[in-house]
Amino acid sequence: MPVGKMTSTILKTLGKKPSTRRYPSVKRTTFTGARGKIVIDLPGCIYCGICMRRCPADAIVTSIKEKTWSMDHFKCVNCKSCVELCPKKCLYMELEQATPSLKRTGQEPSLKNA
Amino acid sequence: MGKQTIIPFGPQHPVLPEPIHLDLVCEDEKVVDVIPKIGFVHRGLEKLIEKKEFLDFVHIADRVCGICSFIHGMTYCLAIEGVMNIEVPPRAQYLRVIWSEFSRIHSHLLWLGLTADAFGFEALFMNSWRIREHILDIIEETTGGRVIFGACKVGGVRRDISADKLKDVLNELKDIEAQMHECADVFLKDSSVKSRLKGVGILSKEDAYKLGAVGPMLRASGVPYDVRMSGYAAYKELNFIPVVENTCDSYGRCVVRIRELFESCRLIRDAVAKIPDGPLESKVVGFPKGEYFARAEQPRGEVVYYVKADGTKFLKRFRVRTPTFANLPPLLKILVGCQLADVPILVLTIDPCISCAER
* Predicted confidence band of residue A105 (pLDDT cuts 50, 70, 90): low
Give the ipTM: 0.83
B24 falls within a domain: no
Over residues B156-189, the pLDDT tens digits come to 898 888 889 899 999 999 999 998 998 898 888 8
Of B277, B275, B241, B271, whose CA–CA distance to B259 is shortest? Answer: B241
Mutation to test the A interface, candidates B56, B129, B158, B159, most A Cβ within 10 Å = B56
To the nearest whole Å, the CA of B118 is away from the closest chain A CA by 17
Contact B144 A33 (CB under 8 A): yes
Q: For chain B, what is the mean pLDDT?
A: 89
Q: Which residues of B touch A79 (CB under 8 A)?
A: 59, 62, 150
pLDDT tens profile B51-102: 888 888 898 888 888 888 899 999 999 999 999 999 999 999 999 999 999 9
- Residue A3 pLDDT: 63
Q: Which of B155, B158, B68 is nearest to B110 (CA)?
A: B68
Q: Which of residues 3-62 of A touch B (CB under 8 A)?
A: 3-6, 8-10, 19, 31, 33-35, 54, 56
Question: In angstroms, rounded to a whole number, what is the distance separating the alpha carbons of residues B295 and B227?
Answer: 7
Q: Which residues of B touch A1 (CB under 8 A)?
A: 191
> Percentage of residues in chain B with pLDDT exceeding 70?
100
For the ranges A71-75, B5-9, B89-93, the lowest mean pLDDT is seen at A71-75
Burial (0-12, 13-18, 19+ Cβ within 10 Å), B331: buried
Q: Which class for B56: exposed (0-12), middle (13-18), buried (19 or more C-beta within 10 A)?
A: middle
Summarised one tens digit per residue, pLDDT across range B202-241 is 889 999 999 989 989 899 998 998 898 888 888 888 888 8
The arithmetic mean of pLDDT across residues B330-344, rounded, is: 89
A82: CB partners within 8 A, 6+ apart: A38, A50, A51, A54, A55, A60, A91
The answer to whether position B29 is within a domain reads no
Mean pLDDT of B343-349: 87
Q: Do B186 and A5 touch (CB under 8 A)?
A: yes
pLDDT digits (tens, 9 = 90+) for B77-90: 999 999 999 999 99
Question: CB-based contact (8 Å) between A77 and chain B?
Answer: yes
Burial classification of residue B171, based on how many CB atoms lie within 10 Å of its CB (0-12 exposed, 13-18 middle, 19 or more buried): exposed
In a domain? residue B338:
yes
Question: How big, in percent rounded to 5, are the helix, strand and coil portions of chain B?
Answer: 50, 15, 35
CB-closest option in B56, B127, B140 to A56: B56
| Contacts with B272 (C-beta within 8 Å, 6 or more apart), sequence order | B98, B166, B169, B170
Task: Write the CA distances from B91 to B78, B87, B169, integer angstroms.
Answer: 15, 12, 17
Closest C-alpha among B134, B157, B136, B135 to residue B146: B136
Interface residues of B toward A, Cβ cutoff 8 Å, are 52-53, 56-57, 59-60, 62-63, 121, 123-124, 127, 130, 133, 137, 140-141, 144-145, 148, 150, 158-159, 182-183, 185-186, 189-192
- Tally of residues, chain B: 359
Q: Cα–Cα distance between B154 and B53 in angstroms, integer?
A: 12
- Measured between alpha carbons, how far is B15 from B119 in angstroms, rounded to an integer? 9
Between vectors from CA B167 to CA B162 and to CA B171, what angle results, nearest 5°?
A: 145
Closest among A54, A64, A58 to A84, alpha carbons compared: A54
Residues with Cβ < 8 Å from A2, sequence gap 6 or more? B189, B190, B191
Interface test with B, best of A3, A5, A8, A12 (most B CBs within 10 A): A5
Are the beta carbons of B186 and A10 separated by less than 8 Å?
Answer: no
Locate the chain B residue with the closest alpha carbon to A58: B52
Q: Is B173 within the bounds of a domain?
A: yes
Residue B128 lies in domain: 41-358
Residue B272: inside a domain, yes or no? yes
Q: Is residue A96 predicted with pLDDT exceeding 50?
A: yes
B315 in a domain, yes or no?
yes
Is-contact B213 B221, C-beta < 8 A? yes
Question: Does the pLDDT at position B43 exceed 50?
Answer: yes
Query: Is B125 domain-assigned?
Result: yes
* Chains A & B: contacts with CB separation below 8 Å: 61
| Contacts with A108 (C-beta within 8 Å, 6 or more apart), sequence order | A70, A72
Contacts of B159 in chain A (CB under 8 A): 33
CATH of the domain at B216: 1.10.645.10
Report whether the peptide linkage leading into residue B329 is cis, meaning its omega lies within 30 degrees of zero. Answer: no
CB contact under 8 A, B191 and A80: no
Whether the upstream peptide bond of residue A109 has omega within 30° of 0, thus cis, is yes
**Domains of chain A, each with CATH number or no CATH:** 29-112 (3.30.70.3270)
Count of structural domains, chain B: 1
Q: Is residue B35 part of a domain?
A: no
CB contact A84 to B (< 8 Å) = yes
* pLDDT the model gives residue B265: 92
Per-residue pLDDT at A114: 47
